[in-house]
Structure 1
Amino acid sequence: MTLTIDEHSLKNGVLTLVVTLVEVIQEALEGQALRRLEGGELTEEEQERLGQALLDLDDALESIKADHGLTASVADLRRGLDDVVDDVLDKLVNPSQWVEDESGGTPRGRA
């Protein structure tokens, strides 16, 4: 049996994953930057450099998505990741809601 791989789809899939992960990291960096700004930990020059670096990163990501037609696929992957994270957090916060009922094996609270 021969495995056939569509190189274009593979490249787009990998690029979509990389861009999505960079966006997630970017959000974490923005949150950390905001905490530092609110905490008064940064000089005015550092604030300017940080703000410009985050804007440059955002511009670069948008350019990559537009150049490769990835805007929709990155958005879809982000929604999927958000759903997974929401489910995991829900299981951690409300574990009793996820106990399998004895009749059908489906978690309570989920249909």
Structure 2
Amino acid sequence: MTGPSDRADSTGSDRRREVADAARRAFALLPARADELSAVDDRTGLPARRLHADPESVERDLVTLVLTIVELLRQLMERQALHRVDQGDLTEEQEERLGLTLMLLHDRMTELCDHYGLTLDDLNLDLGPLGTLLPP
């Protein structure tokens, strides 16, 4: 008989497998450029598909990715805060503190973008047919 923890482990394992399969499918769609085709996949005999990380841009790309995730979370927190204010769940003091915190976080994001030569628009990833990651 399986208990709740067994089901949770199974569900978590299923979710991890699902995410891994999705990542594998996504990376399979990224063919290597002609100058990157030095390796051949032993299983298929076809040129290997891989990501090419330019050492000169990898730091900037990583910073862009991290700041994009932070900006997405900041915007989600802001929306949740506005929802809670609209619902009347917060005291005036909590509203003031929350507003100040969100303004400071926005200012810090702007400073970090300036430090790395980015704009907040640079953090808005284009998801193709889905549109952009961050709302306008």
Shorter chain as normaliser: what TM range? 0.5 to 0.7
Higher helix share: 1
Higher relative contact order (CA 8 A, sep 6+): 1
Q: Where do residues 74-93 of structure 1 align in structure 2 (5 Å cutoff)?
A: 75-81=121-127, 83=128, 85-86=130-131
Larger radius of gyration: 2
Q: Alpha-carbon deviation of 1:84? A: 5.0
1:80 match: secondary structure: coil
1:4–1:35 Cα change, 3 Å: closer
Q: Which residue of 2 aligns with 1:13?
A: 61
Q: CA contact under 8 A between 1:20 and 1:78: conserved in structure 2?
A: yes
Give, in whole Å, the separation in 2 of the partners of 1:44 and 1:14: 39
The partner residue of 2:70 within 22, 30, 47 is 22
Q: Alpha-carbon deviation of 1:76? A: 4.0
The alignment covers a number of residue pairs equal to 82
Sequence identity, in percent? 37
